[in-house]
Structure 1
Amino acid sequence: MDFSSLLSKYKAKACIVSIDFYEDETYGNIRILEGNKAHYDDMTAIGHPFVPNTPYEACFPKNRNFEDYCFRCTRSGRPQHAYVELYTMGLWLNMFLIPIESDKPNTGYCIYVYDVSPKVDSAAMVDLSGDVASEVLKACVKLRSSIDIKKTFQEVIEDIRSLCGSEHCCILLTDPDSRTCEVLGDALSKETKLLPMSTYLDGFYEITETWAETLGGSTCIIIKDQHDMEHLHEQNPIWAESLVGAMVKTIVLFPLRFDNRVLGYMWAINFDAESTIKIKKTLELTTYFLASEIANHLLLIKLEIMSSIDSLTGIKNRNMMNNRVDQIVSGKLPTPDAVFFIDLNGLKRVNDEQGHNAGDKMLRTAAKILQEVLHDGEVFRAGGDEFMAMVPKISEAELQKRIEQVHKVAKANDIHFSIGSCYGGKDVRKAMHTADERMYADKNAYYEAHPEEKYR
């Protein structure tokens, strides 16, 4: 067959791919038989001069998804198209596979036409039927006008599961700092026997760590049949066993990438294998849109934490305290039964004599004690060495017991608190003022008894 003449008609980079078939519907060697001038020039430019009739890995990175596209194209006789991000190279690949007649019974041929670009092409990205692309966009657009973002993510994942016709679809966030996972959206079909993802979260982060190696530079992982599952058993036996145990037969899994970071993963499970390519393209488009929305969602959470949590002690800060008081005053929250103002005595002396690291440790210990004893309330760091706490439902007798318990636990940690409280106040601000005055009275009494501790 005169491949050179055939390829000479193509201006874009193009080459001839051959693939050997086996009787069990699997494939063997995949080779690049010939290329056009643009292909030769491209290979030379990247430092790998092209040699005809060579294994495809000599020209392109080894990739099971690429192999599957070649197999589908040559076996089915139908053209294939994919537009994928080569995230390890910072490029986007637009690829077309066109089947051609073969003169060998167990070998298929196709023309591989490809182009790479550093920027995404939105027109190439939406390579789905109009109705599917429209539904994906419609689902993702919901997030832009959402008030309850988690509820909307759940609606989106249910829409995508329906589009894929799968038993299960999930968005899983991964946190490398805490080594934990969080389910952002989880949709199951009515008839499925699969369990929700929340069932498997304990220790699941260790499994997600294996996925980067399994991806091996690919944009996704596709398990569409028993042959693929057997290959996964060889490559990633721990995950493969977990899939079998969870009754997973087919899966398409995509990482959610944003700004060169993996935020999590999205997948569809147990679907018609004939729909694999459609599902891959559906999830490819969905993850492209969702990744930026998830990044924004995580950023807002981080900003909210920064604005409401004291970075040193990990408890709620003064800003959060003021917001909570405003909510109580406006009637959005009930007035707590007990309000406490608590001062950590001797902090300045520790800072001066032992250094600020020792002082910081003292503050963290103090916050931990207060949180443990006042576990049914809210504890705030009001500033410096002062804390404020509110307990919603508590008796006056129990309030006194808690104060005694705070002093007891504090003494065991070589810490002393001055505590003022107010019980049963109807006006939270007046209750705070009363508790604050009583705290200063307790503080003055402490320093009169221990003048050596008075640094302020």
Structure 2
Amino acid sequence: MMDLQEFVNKFHTMTSILSVEKRDDDKIGTIRIEAANNLYIHAMEKVDKDGNVVFKEKFIPGSSYERYMKKELNFENFCYECAIKKKPVHAYIRPEYYNFSINLYMMPLNINDPKKAYCSYSQEISFEENIEAMSNISATTSSNVLQACIKLRGAADLQKTMDEVIEDIRQICDASYCCVLLTDFNEHTWSVFSDALKKDSSIHSIRELKDQDFVEFAKSWIDTLAGSNCLMIKNQYDLEVIHKANPTWYESLTGANVKSLVLLPLEYNGTTIGFIWVANFNTSNTLIIRETLELTAFFVASEIANYQLLGKLETLSRIDLLTGAMNRNSMNNKVTQFMNGEVQFKSLGVIFADLNGLKSTNDNQGHDAGDKLLKDAAQILRSYFSDCELYRAGGDEFLVIALDKPKKDLEDKVNRIREESMIPGKVSFAIGLYYCENGESICTAMHKADGLMYEDKKRYYDRFPANRRRFL
């Protein structure tokens, strides 16, 4: 048997020799660091400026890697693929718990040992992302990822195209299920952006699990990933590792008939915006699957983040952020649609509602109280006219457009609002309804509803003169 220390000393890069215990079952045997050169040892034992160190103990040749760091399924999979299955391995990883990235190369070694298989492990550490290393991928992965990128970049309908890409990924991985789950930890919300399910699969789409709190699951996934950018579960042995680390998730996985899984966080600008995973995949092709998913996740996260940003900008352009009602810009666009004949209707109800007492609230209690009053007012109108369109037309003025609604229903709702407005302590409106069935223009209807609203306001101040303020 060769002298492993003498062999590893010939490398000019940080290099170690790893061994993997040979077993008769599908479990990964004990992984040991048999030898390492000084460059590798010094790098692993060096404390960085943040006080972090890779090796928690001094290096002793032949010790299990778990002497130095916690159990890492990705690392074990790399070792198994290289040492046992004799496949060269290259990976570029960015562990979150360290301030550097690792570009690693592993090569199988032909050493005659009945109990162990061996491989070399060389690495480069960089404190900035190495784009060249990230793009150094196999031709198969390049083709798969390039096709996904071209589809996503040219997408007129991102949702439809993402569905196509996710189905492609499911087929590439020969998986039963592929899913993109979006999460917002601040708002405690989750949604399925896209998923693909193999026909006659024993797994169900998580769209069917509406009652489960996947936000809490997602938070636990981050803990289980422990800074890694990928988690691969190939078999029952790996599932048992998850059982120890995250028993609740383990019960969910086994209950859903998941036998294997690759899970990756979707990150953009340092924020986790969701996750992508494949379940029950072809475990004989783990290296290509991991490589494909890692790079695809990078582009998927970018496209979704841009999509969400555009959605937010669109929302800002049409929604009043304080009240949640549609804003004046949306109202003007709607009026234009009416004038152009784009809105078809049999009857039209236009309601103007002016909030009484906003100025005095702002003057006496402050603008926070005034903002709350506006939000309460919008909520009241929304509850009464939930099936109509609500706009904030101006500072304290709201507009409701009701298409093809019975006149009596609208009149009853307006009268109830008017009655409640006369009760001291209640949110008070001056309100005017104009209803037409004879094809009058939207502008005429709005003008007449506005006039009726000011008549109602005059009646309110005649009844409560102390609340009078100048109005037009």
Alignment of 1:29-428 (within 5 A): 29-43=30-44, 45-46=46-47, 50-57=59-66, 62-202=71-211, 203-334=213-344, 337-410=348-421, 414-424=426-436, 425-428=439-442
CA deviation vs aligned residue, 1:11-37 (integer Å, no higher than 9, x gap): 221111123234433234322222224
Contact 1:140–1:156 (Cα < 8 Å) also in 2:
no
Distance 2:227 2:45 in 1: 22
1:87 match: secondary structure: coil
2:276 match: secondary structure: strand
Aligned-pair CA distance for 1:344: 0.7
Which position in structure 1 is the counterpart of 2:461? 447
2:124 match: secondary structure: strand
Aligned-pair CA distance for 1:8: 3.2
Aligned-pair CA distance for 1:44: 5.3
The AA in structure 1 aligned to 2:193 is: L
Contact 1:181–1:201 (Cα < 8 Å) also in 2:
no
Distance 2:282 2:400 in 1: 57
Which position in structure 1 is the counterpart of 2:50? none
Contact 2:182–2:191 (Cα < 8 Å) also in 1:
yes
CA deviation vs aligned residue, 1:66-88 (integer Å, no higher than 9, x gap): 01211221111222222222233
Contact 1:92–1:118 (Cα < 8 Å) also in 2:
yes
Larger mean CA deviation between 333-342 and 359-368 belongs to 333-342
2:30 match: secondary structure: strand
Distance 1:27 1:444 in 2: 83
Distance 2:239 2:71 in 1: 18
Aligned-pair CA distance for 1:345: 1.0
Aligned-pair CA distance for 1:236: 1.2
Aligned-pair CA distance for 1:442: 1.7
Contact 2:420–2:428 (Cα < 8 Å) also in 1:
no
Contact 1:214–1:235 (Cα < 8 Å) also in 2:
yes
CA deviation vs aligned residue, 1:165-196 (integer Å, no higher than 9, x gap): 21111110001122111111111122324222
The AA in structure 2 aligned to 1:347 is: L
1:209 match: secondary structure: helix
The AA in structure 1 aligned to 2:462 is: E
Q: In the alignment, is residue 6 of structure 1 matched against residue 7 of structure 2?
A: yes
The AA in structure 2 aligned to 1:418 is: A
Q: In the alignment, is residue 433 of structure 1 matched against residue 442 of structure 2?
A: no
The 3 A distance-change label for structure 1 pair 331 and 21 is farther
Distance 2:61 2:159 in 1: 53
Aligned-pair CA distance for 1:386: 0.6
Q: Report the aligned-residue RMSD.
A: 2.3
Distance 1:421 1:262 in 2: 48
Q: Equivalent pairs: percent with the same residue?
A: 40
Distance 1:75 1:408 in 2: 81
Contact 1:43–1:59 (Cα < 8 Å) also in 2:
no
- Structure 2: unaligned runs, 5 residues or longer: 48-52
Larger mean CA deviation between 438-447 and 100-109 belongs to 100-109
Larger mean CA deviation between 118-127 and 349-358 belongs to 118-127
Aligned-pair CA distance for 1:60: 5.7
The AA in structure 2 aligned to 1:81 is: H
Which position in structure 2 is the counterpart of 1:27? 28
Aligned-pair CA distance for 1:126: 4.1
The 3 A distance-change label for structure 1 pair 320 and 265 is same
The AA in structure 1 aligned to 2:110 is: E
Distance 1:408 1:291 in 2: 52
Larger mean CA deviation between 88-97 and 105-114 belongs to 88-97
1:114 match: secondary structure: strand
- Structure 1: unaligned runs, 5 residues or longer: none
The AA in structure 2 aligned to 1:164 is: C
Distance 2:172 2:156 in 1: 24
The 3 A distance-change label for structure 1 pair 339 and 226 is same
Distance 1:328 1:182 in 2: 35
Larger mean CA deviation between 434-443 and 193-202 belongs to 193-202
Count of paired positions: 456
